[in-house]
Copies of this chain bind each other. A is one copy, B any other.
């Protein structure tokens, strides 16, 4: 099998090295592996590539790749690799993000729950105010609503259950769970608006796509409890900056790992809202990221290749 990669990135955690990728060659010595640093080099391999590992792939490129059967991309969201308009090439997204994102999300929930924006202001003023956290409650006595209960949302739900939180998941197909989630109350999207008033924390983990644009708009944010905390850890299209700015006095605060325009413009009103924290789409930035994707690719190759020679192991 002829595999070509285009997995360079200016983000260190996502910049696959030669060593990262050569693990595939060691594990499956019979593959042909072309490691490319940019799109131009990748496109030169169009005639012979059977499998591509890439961050990006444009719709217009497909006709030029007659032998291409599969694209694997590390991303969990649907924004950087276009689907094959002819429906011939199979596109496989990363499925390893759950444990990484869940740990980041728990950090964000505990950050907001423990009133860290106010605690940090206090710290920066060198003050000793023991009443900023007086309304804090244990997660065990709170309800978290997760909008988007795929593999990633499922891992988040599981970790939240370790804290004893009540977890409600909103899922398009509430009958098809990504994993067993025995103590999670799963509801269809039609129940989103009646569910929002139950939440102390509203977590959005959606993969992007026009059908989820502004799913948490001003009106729905207004349905949340006074003081509820909002998190966006999926894609920025789901929660518009302008909607969030309008409800900033109603909600308790927000922790956004993604925003509707990335990088967020320095003059965005979001930066100056109280009780808001923004991280630069970094919820999966862990040293484990690259190895986790290579492991996923290896698992697929193991299934596809007939009796792979294991001598290189």
Chain A residues numbered 130-155 whose CB sits less than 8 Å from any CB in chain B: 130-141
CA distance A157 to B18 in the complex (A): 38
Known contacts A129-B280, A262-B128; is-contact A138 B99 (Cβ 8 Å): yes
Q: Is the CB of A130 within 8 A of B288?
A: no
CA distance A118 to B12 in the complex (A): 16
Residues of chain B within 8 A of A140, CB atoms compared? 99
CA distance A130 to B278 in the complex (A): 12
Q: Which positions in A face B, CB cutoff 8 Å?
A: 11-13, 99-100, 103-104, 106-107, 110-111, 113-114, 116, 119-120, 122-123, 126, 128-141, 159, 162-163, 262-264, 266, 271, 277-282, 285-288
Residues of chain B within 8 A of A277, CB atoms compared? 120, 123
Residues of chain B within 8 A of A163, CB atoms compared? 103, 159, 162
Residues of chain B within 8 A of A278, CB atoms compared? 123
Task: Work out how many copies of this chain go into the complex.
Answer: 2
CA distance A16 to B47 in the complex (A): 76
Q: Which of B138, B271, B281, B285 contacts A100 (CB 8 A)?
A: B138
CA distance A106 to B160 in the complex (A): 12
Q: Is the CB of A111 within 8 A of B107?
A: yes
Known contacts A162-B159, A162-B162, A263-B128; is-contact A285 B13 (Cβ 8 Å): no
CA distance A287 to B141 in the complex (A): 10
Q: Which of B11, B113, B119, B139 contacts A131 (CB 8 A)?
A: B11
Min Cβ gap A17→B in Å is 13
Q: Is the CB of B110 within 8 A of A103?
A: yes
CA distance A265 to B279 in the complex (A): 31
